[in-house]
Amino acid sequence: MRAIWGLRHWRDNPLRRATDLAEAWLALAALLLILVAAPLAGTLVGGLAHDALQRSAREQREDRHPVYATVVRKADRTPLDPDPETASGRDSHSRVLALWTAPDGTARRGTVMAALNSPQRGDRFTLWTDGHGRVVGEPLDPAAASAHAALAGFGTAALCAGLIEGSRRLVVWRMVRRRYDGWDRAWSQAGPDWGRTGTGS
């Protein structure tokens, strides 16, 4: 709105400079780009991210399998484990030595993270593995994939709007600097004779 008002304000003003009109047109162009190009870029990137993430989620659901593992014993802490007094994010998980059967039928044994607070021998928990029984992460949830895609779209739109506004401000700054430089040159030419009687006659 400020850009439109600027154009109307300067259209018939006798004090209007060419740079004033250019600034108003630049502001209007930036506004239109922010209203059209930024949402379009966000929609495009969000759509591409959504397709890619949903495809990845489908592939992970096909390649990863939940199996039941049985706790053999609680594993000893390693130096890389967090201090028990300061650990907070992994309190609900414990390192255990466990047995499980891979989707191909082979028996597996290894140290894994179990979603158990106080694991005891014989406790069962769910573990995600690939087709050969190797432990992998849980597959990406389709809802989480959609949320990530939406965030990517919003982030792209915001970044695009920021770049447009930043470019507009940079161009306006350059125009103002050129205007000030012109004033300095004009003042340096008129300054020595400013206010003297008979100057210019």
Predicted local distance difference test score (pLDDT) of residue 76: 72
The pTM of this model reads: 0.63
Question: Cα separation of 120 and 71, whole Å?
Answer: 7
Predicted local distance difference test score (pLDDT) of residue 189: 77
Q: Provide φ and ψ at 145, rounded to 5°.
A: -60, -40
Predicted local distance difference test score (pLDDT) of residue 82: 52
Question: Cα separation of 54 and 127, whole Å?
Answer: 22
Give just the sign of the alpha carbon dihedral 81, 85, 88, 91. Answer: positive
Residue tagged 């004779």 (tokens): 193
Residues in the chain: 201
Q: Provide φ and ψ at 75, rounded to 5°.
A: -80, 150
Long-range pairs, 92-96, Cβ under 8 A, ≥24: 92/117, 94/118, 94/119, 96/71, 96/72
Q: Which two tokens stand for residue 65?
A: 């399998």
Predicted local distance difference test score (pLDDT) of residue 193: 62
What averages of pLDDT result for each successive group of 10 residues across the chain (201 residues)?
54 63 86 94 95 93 90 72 48 79 87 84 89 87 93 96 94 88 80 59 47
